[in-house]
């Protein structure tokens, strides 16, 4: 199906009600793999972080990574789930070259965490509750690279390379209950859910959850039902969507595609689909009816996981403030609107502003610099804000220099520029570049006298009551002092000298 055959989004929503299910895989940041002691560090030579267990060699015995279980429980608790008193791992049997054991160690009908929810905030501030079916532990597969073809896909490739370094890295799969009632906002809810989950995972410190690096990936299940009908329609499952924007686009595309098929009298086949970044479309993958039976059975080589209630409560005590709650608290403390907070979030500036405020800067000043000058510089250099070579403490110091009157905004910008250029701390840059505001009244007075003498017509206008004309004289003084005068003080002095009320 091509894009042109889609039903328009509004038309689709006029007749149908979308139902969604989101399955998110998160790669945990544990030091070692889930069932062996191999390192999980990225960037190592292919197949240098493997052992008989994660290669599935005969006789090798797995052992559960306690810190993986701990992360799973903390994620479950943060999602308001119940934590199983006793659960087992299961073998999910299938053959694929990137999975050397020929089964994935996963959990099936006994997940470690179940029945929870995550409240997500939409752009207009409305809160939507997404219910969680379960969160279970499993392991990642290796990585295949198809070489010799034009597309990097297996078709047309001359051979394939396999790297098992990733095989056995712990994964947590978080599955929602069917999400109903979102209506036309279903794609926005999908995106907001994944965004919120990512923030939560990062706040828990269990993974960096970088979607662009595959540390977090989402399968989008979607079906439509005619408005007013209870029963769900047949779903499609768009696999491995790996950015927030793509999650939203995939849901939107599937709504339009399902509507086109259904309203022309066709029926949806249950299948997996691939998402295409280029045009936001999805194409058919594997039809579910043909999918193999995984012959799940309990893993005989691993003991059951039975976390004591004391341990669970201890872990509950380690939970951070939920990201949504923290965001709302900060928004109030900073006295900004939802919309302004959204910009701060999008810029990835929340933690930087918090750290700058912790270092003593007023919130509005901290926000002004990070969202203004520094965001502009990061954008110019094509980097993220945290990658700029200036620390929150240094930004706070610049704010302090402005507050005490040593720097004006223009000089502060030059100071920041110097820090970014590696010229040293704000104080060092101010010294080296000689950026202090000219506050010596005598020197300023001379500059003001010269400006008045040099522009007698302007001075006359001001005397005659045209106070607005003072700008030209202030400009002349600022120019003469290379921008290092306090403009407000200059204006005051001009008025005093001309004998005009300011
Ligand atoms: P599978 O492994 O076959 O994909 P899961 O139960 O792991 O099954 O995940 C299915 C996901 O799709 C869940 O999030 C579930 O809530 C959701 N879901 C189930 N039925 C439907 C449906 N008819 N339409 C949309 N989503 C659905
Ligand atoms: Mg699925
Ligand atoms: Zn190993």
Give the pLDDT confidence of 399-452 residue by residue, as tens digits. Answer: 999 998 888 888 999 999 999 999 999 999 999 988 877 767 778 888 899 999
185 in Cβ contact with 15 (< 8 Å):
no
Distance of alpha carbon 244 from alpha carbon 428, whole angstroms: 42
Give the closest ligand to the alpha carbon of residue 56. 3
What pLDDT, in 10s, does the model give residues 103-154?
A: 999 999 999 999 999 999 998 889 999 999 999 999 999 999 999 988 888 8
Q: Which of 16, 17, 21 to mutate to test the pocket of ligand 1 (most atoms within 8 A of CB)?
A: 21
379 in Cβ contact with 368 (< 8 Å):
no
What pLDDT, in 10s, does the model give residues 170-188?
A: 999 999 999 999 999 999 9
Q: For residue 73, what is the enclosing H or E element?
A: helix 66-78
Q: How far is the CA of 23 from the centre of ligand 2 (A)?
A: 6
Residues 69, 45, single domain; the answer is yes
Q: How far is the CA of 295 from the centre of ligand 2 (A)?
A: 16
Residues 389, 483, single domain; the answer is no
Residues 197, 124, single domain; the answer is yes
313 phi/psi in degrees, rounded to 5: -70, -35
At 3, the pLDDT band (50, 70, 90 cuts) reads: very low
Residue 388 lies in a domain: yes
Residue 318 lies in a domain: no
Q: What pLDDT, on a 0 to 100 scale, did the predictor assign at position 499?
A: 86
Q: How far is the CA of 72 from the centre of ligand 3 (A)?
A: 20
Which atom of ligand 1 is nearest the CA belonging to 178? 16
Q: How far is the CA of 22 from the centre of ligand 1 (A)?
A: 7
What pLDDT, in 10s, does the model give residues 255-287?
A: 999 999 999 999 999 999 999 999 999 999 877
What pLDDT, in 10s, does the model give residues 350-406?
A: 999 999 999 999 999 999 999 999 999 999 999 999 999 999 999 999 999 999 888
Q: What is the CATH number of the domain that holds 466?
A: 1.10.10
For residue 474, pLDDT over 80 is answered with yes
- Nearest CA, atom 13, ligand 1: 21
Which residues, other chains included, contact 476 with Cβ-Cβ below 8 Å and sequence gap of 6+? Answer: 451, 454, 455
Q: How far is the CA of 52 from the centre of ligand 3 (A)?
A: 6
Residue 239 lies in a domain: yes
What pLDDT, in 10s, does the model give residues 217-252?
A: 999 999 999 999 999 999 999 999 999 999 999 999
Which of 275, 306, 337 finishes a domain?
Answer: 306
Q: Which of 19, 178, 197 to mutate to test the pocket of ligand 1 (most atoms within 8 A of CB)?
A: 178
- Nearest CA, atom 15, ligand 1: 21
Q: What pLDDT, on a 0 to 100 scale, did the predictor assign at position 2?
A: 46
Q: What pLDDT, on a 0 to 100 scale, did the predictor assign at position 435?
A: 83
Residues 397, 281, single domain; the answer is no
Give the closest ligand to the alpha carbon of residue 39. 3
Q: How far is the CA of 237 from the centre of ligand 1 (A)?
A: 8
Which residues, other chains included, contact 146 with Cβ-Cβ below 8 Å and sequence gap of 6+? Answer: 152, 153, 154, 157, 159, 160
Residue 67 lies in a domain: yes
Q: How far is the CA of 424 from the centre of ligand 1 (A)?
A: 55
Q: How far is the CA of 202 from the centre of ligand 2 (A)?
A: 24
Give the closest ligand to the alpha carbon of residue 49. 3
Which atom of ligand 1 is nearest the CA belonging to 234? 23
At 489, the pLDDT band (50, 70, 90 cuts) reads: confident
Q: What is the mean pLDDT of the chain?
A: 93
Q: What domain count does the chain have?
A: 3
Residues 485, 425, single domain; the answer is no
Residue 402 lies in a domain: yes
Q: How far is the CA of 191 from the centre of ligand 1 (A)?
A: 17
**What mean pLDDT do residues 20-39 have?**
98
Give residues (CB < 6 A) around ligand 1. 19-23, 133, 175-178, 221-223, 232, 235, 237
Residues 276, 339, single domain; the answer is no
Residue that is written with structure tokens 């043909």 in the block: 290
Which of 378, 410, 433 finishes a domain?
Answer: 433
Residue 102 lies in a domain: yes
C-alpha separations of 265 from 244, 260, 329, 333, 496 in Å: 32, 9, 50, 55, 84
Residues 207, 274, single domain; the answer is yes
Residue 255 lies in a domain: yes
Distance of alpha carbon 50 from alpha carbon 368, whole angstroms: 49
Q: What pLDDT, on a 0 to 100 scale, did the predictor assign at position 488?
A: 84
Q: What pLDDT, on a 0 to 100 scale, did the predictor assign at position 502?
A: 57
Q: Which of 23, 233, 288 to mutate to test the pocket of ligand 1 (most atoms within 8 A of CB)?
A: 23
Q: What pLDDT, on a 0 to 100 scale, did the predictor assign at position 1?
A: 46
Q: Which of 174, 221, 237, 287 to mutate to test the pocket of ligand 1 (most atoms within 8 A of CB)?
A: 221
For residue 292, pLDDT over 80 is answered with no
- Nearest CA, atom 5, ligand 1: 175
Name the residues around ion ligand 3, CB cutoff 5 A.
Answer: 36, 38, 51, 53-54
Residues 262, 373, single domain; the answer is no
Domain extent at residue 471: 441-498
Q: How far is the CA of 324 from the centre of ligand 2 (A)?
A: 27
Residues 424, 450, single domain; the answer is no
Residues 43, 183, single domain; the answer is yes
Residue 315 lies in a domain: no
Which atom of ligand 1 is nearest the CA belonging to 233? 23
Residues 448, 417, single domain; the answer is no
Give the closest ligand to the alpha carbon of residue 166. 3
Which of 433, 450, 477 finishes a domain?
Answer: 433
Q: What pLDDT, on a 0 to 100 scale, did the predictor assign at position 123?
A: 82
Which residues, other chains included, contact 147 with Cβ-Cβ below 8 Å and sequence gap of 6+? Answer: 157, 158, 159, 160, 161
Across 103-181, where does the E strand assignment appear?
103-106, 113-121, 127-139, 143-147, 159-163, 170-176
Give the closest ligand to the alpha carbon of residue 65. 3
349 in Cβ contact with 385 (< 8 Å):
yes
Residues 222, 365, single domain; the answer is no
């Amino acid at each position: 199906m091509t894009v042109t055959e889609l039903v328009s989004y509004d038309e689709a929503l006029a007749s149908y009600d979308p139902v969604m299910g989101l399955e998110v895989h998160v790669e945990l940041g544990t030091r070692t793999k889930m069932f062996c002691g191999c390192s999980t560090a990225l960037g190592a030579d292919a197949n240098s972080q493997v052992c008989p267990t994660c290669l599935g060699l005969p006789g090798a015995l797995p052992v559960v990574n306690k810190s993986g279980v701990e992360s799973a429980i903390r994620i479950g608790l943060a999602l308001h789930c119940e934590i199983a008193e006793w659960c087992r791992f299961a073998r999910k049997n299938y053959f694929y070259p990137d999975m050397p054991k020929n089964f994935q160690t996963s959990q099936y009908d006994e997940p470690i965490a179940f029945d929870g929810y995550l409240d997500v905030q939409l752009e207009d501030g409305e809160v939507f509750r997404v219910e969680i079916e379960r969160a279970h532990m499993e392991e990642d597969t290796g990585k295949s690279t198809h070489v010799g073809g034009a597309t990097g896909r297996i078709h047309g490739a001359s051979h394939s390379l396999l790297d098992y370094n990733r095989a056995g890295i712990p994964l947590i799969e978080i599955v929602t209950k069917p999400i109903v009632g979102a209506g036309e906002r279903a794609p926005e809810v999908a995106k907001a859910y994944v965004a919120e989950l990512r923030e939560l995972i990062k706040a828990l410190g269990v993974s960096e959850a970088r979607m662009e690096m595959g540390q977090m990936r989402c399968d989008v299940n979607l079906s439509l039902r005619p408005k007013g009908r209870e029963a769900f329609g047949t779903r499609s499952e768009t696999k491995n969507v790996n950015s927030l924007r793509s999650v939203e686009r995939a849901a939107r595309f599937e709504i339009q595609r399902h509507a086109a098929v259904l309203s022309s009298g066709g029926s949806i086949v249950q299948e997996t689909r691939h998402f295409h970044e280029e045009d936001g479309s999805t194409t058919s993958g594997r039809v579910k009816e043909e999918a193999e039976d995984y012959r799940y059975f309990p893993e005989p080589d691993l003991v059951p996981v039975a976390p004591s209630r004391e341990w669970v409560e201890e872990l509950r005590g380690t939970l951070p403030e939920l990201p949504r709650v923290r965001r709302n608290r900060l928004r109030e403390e900073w006295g900004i609107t939802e919309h302004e907070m959204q910009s701060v979030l999008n810029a990835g500036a929340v933690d930087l502003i918090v750290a700058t405020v912790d270092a003593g800067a007023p919130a509005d000043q901290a926000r002004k610099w990070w969202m203004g000058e520094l965001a502009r510089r990061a954008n110019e250099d094509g980097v993220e804000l945290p990658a700029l070579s200036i620390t929150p403490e240094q930004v706070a110091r610049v704010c302090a220099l402005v507050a005490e009157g040593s720097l004006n905004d223009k000089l502060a910008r030059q100071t920041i520029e110097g820090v970014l250029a590696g010229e040293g701390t704000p104080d060092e840059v101010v010294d080296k570049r000689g950026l202090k505001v000219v506050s010596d009244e005598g020197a300023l007075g001379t500059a003001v006298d010269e400006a008045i003498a040099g522009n007698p017509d302007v001075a006359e206008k001001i005397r005659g009551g045209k106070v607005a004309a003072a700008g030209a004289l202030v400009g002349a003084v600022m120019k003469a002092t290379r921008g290092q005068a306090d403009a407000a003080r200059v204006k005051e002095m001009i008025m005093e000298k001309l004998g005009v009320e300011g």
